[in-house]
Amino acid sequence: MSTLKQLSIALGLLTSDHAPVPDQDGWQNYVWRVQAAQQCLHVEDGFCEVVQDKWDWKRPQYYSFAFRPDPKTNSIMSRITLRNEDPDDDDQVCVVASFLNAAGQEVGIFFANWRALPGRSYTRAAPIWLSTDVSEIATVAVGTKQCDVKAMTDAQNFYRVRLELKQR
C-alpha cells in the first residue's frame, strides 16, 4: 500500500463520525457520517438528503445520500449521487448505508460499489425492503471509501448483514 494511500485512509478515519453498529458489522476503512433521520420519515414526495460530503479529501470528488421511505410497502428508496469534478482521476467508490432504530439496532442495510469517471456525475436509486416497520428508523450511518472493482469482502459483508436482517 502506498504511503499517500495510507495517509489518506488515516486522515479520513480521523474525521469519521463514530458508527458503532457498522463498525461491529466489520466494515473496514470506511469514513462515516451519522445523521438523525426522523425528519425524513414524513417526506411525502421527493427524497430527504441526509449526507453530502467528499469521498476523497484531497480531490473535488463528492457524494450525497438521500432516501425516501414508503410506509405502504415498508420500503426505502435510496438515492446516491457521485459527482467527480476531477478531470483526471477516476475511482471505484463503495457506499454503505446502515439504518438504525432508536435503540441503535440495525434495521436495514444498503451497499453499492460504483465507478466514478473523471468529470462525470451519476445518480442512481435502489430500493430496500425492510423486515421491520420503516417508522422505526431513527438514524442513518453512511460510510464511503475508495475500493477495488470487486470489493469481495465488502460485498460478502453486505450479503451476510442483509441475510441477518431478513431484508429483501
pLDDT of residue 16: 55
C-alpha 74/C-alpha 27 separation (Å) is 26
Strands (E), the chain: 31-36, 48-56, 61-70, 75-84, 91-100, 106-116, 121-129, 139-146
Residue 21 is predicted with a pLDDT of: 64
Spans in the chain with pLDDT lower than 50: 4-5, 7-14
Name every residue whose Cβ is closer than 8 Å to that of residue 12 and which is 6 or more positions away in sequence: 29, 31, 57, 145
Give the model's pLDDT for residue 19: 65
Tally of domains in the chain: 1
The C-alpha atoms of residue 31 and residue 149 are separated, in whole angstroms, by 19
Per-residue model confidence (pLDDT) at position 10? 46
- 67 vs 49: CA distance, rounded Å: 7
Find the domain containing 152 and state its range.
3-164
Other Cβ atoms closer than 10 A to 34: 21
* The three three-digit cell numbers of residue 126, written as one number: 435502489
Tens of pLDDT, residue by residue over 35-73, are 999 889 887 778 999 999 999 888 999 999 999 999 999
DSSP element (H, E) containing 77: strand 75-84
| Per-residue pLDDT, 148 | 86
What's the CATH code of the domain at 82? Answer: 2.60.40.3230
- Number of residues assigned to the chain: 168
